[in-house]
């Protein structure tokens, strides 16, 4: 490789002692491609195997922890022990290529799809519909919230038994953990709502339950990360100022990483912080060395990744880039970074091992990928 890119390939040791071989992570991306019984499909196994050989960590598409939390057609399940063999296939496929296998655990909350949930019922912290989802959720009872916390722990246990190296708690993109933290989605007056500290109760309860299960069941160090979205467009909604409170609280939980969800790594803060500065810069400054941060968003070339790493963020996640070029990391490692593909050819689905439902979603969403 060219000497300037060596920092991308330096190993990094997480707080729990697990060494990651380089600084490049495959970001979690929904595949819509599970089997009809919600097990991981052969096409997904092929897709992940193809992309796991260069990166240090693969974070999978999200698995739902409860049947009321299914938010995508073709989402694979993790809510009962019958899915442990499905998990194991996926973990083994990723680990066989030398990457750490992290499964993202998730509940859609008010963004779940009624046609995919029992009795067509979606649930959330409050009966407030999402801005872009007309369905009104039923507000969870206190006992149901407690049960949901335990569901995250149970899915973590299944991930441990299946051989995954870790879990990522999905607290981003408007799903249920973010909903509990959001003043837009959460209008509760009990211990799970109210002021910002009440709205922190559910995210922290999930983290603590996952950590408890890891301590009880994992026989070797097991990675626990947390993904979050730094701001919401709604008013009221999560601001950068509130996100600083969230990341401060998460940094005290002995997590192995935090993963900020962004479409653009270099996007500026919108409100609640200096809007002339990037969110990544503000967040990295806030967490410092307390917990490693993963940055993501429109990083296409090796120079993009190097510039991002120079902000001080220890890990760079690639999403769309690894769909367009599964050998992105190898090309940089071999001094062939000029060969990186940054567009998607309509004829290349088979060449890229992209499952049919994911391919159709990409082609059917103009502007998501640079399709030629």
pLDDT, one tens digit per residue, over 213-254 is 999 999 999 999 999 999 999 999 999 999 999 999 999 999
pLDDT given for residue 133 in this prediction: 84
Residues designated catalytic = 175
Q: Which of 268, 183, 188, 258 is nearest to 225 (CA)?
A: 258
Q: Is 256 exposed, middle or buried (0-12, 13-18, 19+ CB in 10 A)?
A: buried
C-beta neighbour count of 330 within 10 angstroms? 12
Say if residue 134's pLDDT is above 90.
no
Q: In terms of CATH architecture, what is 3-363?
A: Alpha-Beta Barrel (3.20)
* Model pTM above 0.85: yes
**DSSP secondary structure, 23-56, as one string:** SEEEPP-------TTSSPPHHHHHHHHHHTTTSS
- Count CA atoms within 13 Å of residue 261 on its CB side: 19
Report the distance separating Cα 215 and Cα 361, nearest Å.
39
**Distance of CA 201 to CAs 79, 137, 195, 208, 283, Å?**
22, 20, 10, 10, 21
Residue 372, token pair as written in the block: 């030629």
**What pLDDT digit, counting tens, does each position of 22-52 carry?**
999 999 999 999 999 999 999 999 999 999 9
pLDDT of residue 299: 96
Q: How confident is the model at residue 132 (pLDDT cuts 50, 70, 90)?
A: confident
């Amino acid at each position: 490789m060219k000497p300037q890119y060596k920092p991308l390939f330096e190993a990094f040791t997480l707080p729990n002692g697990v060494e990651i071989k380089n600084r490049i992570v495959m970001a979690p991306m929904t595949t819509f491609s599970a089997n009809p019984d919600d097990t991981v499909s052969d096409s997904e196994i092929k897709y992940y195997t193809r992309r796991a050989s260069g990166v240090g960590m693969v974070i999978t598409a999200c698995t739902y922890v409860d049947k009321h939390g299914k938010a995508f057609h073709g989402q694979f399940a993790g809510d009962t022990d019958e899915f442990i063999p499905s998990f194991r296939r996926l973990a083994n496929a990723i680990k066989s290529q030398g990457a750490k296998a992290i499964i993202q655990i998730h509940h859609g909350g008010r963004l779940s799809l009624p046609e995919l949930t029992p009795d067509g019922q979606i649930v959330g912290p409050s009966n407030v519909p999402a801005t872009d989802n007309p369905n009104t959720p039923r507000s969870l009872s206190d006992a149901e919230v407690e049960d949901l916390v335990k569901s995250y722990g149970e899915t973590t246990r299944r991930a441990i038994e299946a051989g995954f190296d870790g879990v990522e708690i999905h607290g981003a993109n408007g799903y249920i953990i973010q909903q509990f933290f959001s003043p837009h989605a959460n209008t509760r007056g009990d211990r799970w709502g109210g002021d910002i500290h009440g709205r922190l109760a559910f995210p922290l309860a999930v983290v603590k339950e996952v950590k408890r299960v890891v301590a009880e069941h994992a026989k070797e160090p097991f990675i626990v990360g947390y993904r979050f979205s730094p701001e919401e467009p709604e008013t009221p909604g999560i601001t950068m100022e509130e996100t600083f409170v969230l990341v401060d609280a998460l940094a005290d939980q002995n997590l192995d990483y935090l993963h900020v969800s962004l479409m653009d790594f270099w996007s500026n803060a919108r409100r609640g912080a200096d809007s002339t500065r990037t969110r990544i810069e503000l967040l990295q400054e806030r967490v410092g060395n307390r917990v490693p941060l993963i940055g993501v968003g429109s990083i296409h070339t090796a120079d993009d990744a190097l510039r991002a790493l120079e902000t001080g963020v220890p890990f760079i996640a690639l999403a769309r880039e690894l769909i367009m070029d599964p050998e992105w990391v190898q090309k940089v490692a071999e001094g062939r970074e000029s060969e990186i593909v940054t567009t998607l050819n309509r004829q290349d689905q088979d060449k890229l091992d992209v499952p049919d439902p994911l391919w159709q979603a990409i082609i059917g969403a103009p502007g998501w990928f640079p399709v030629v």
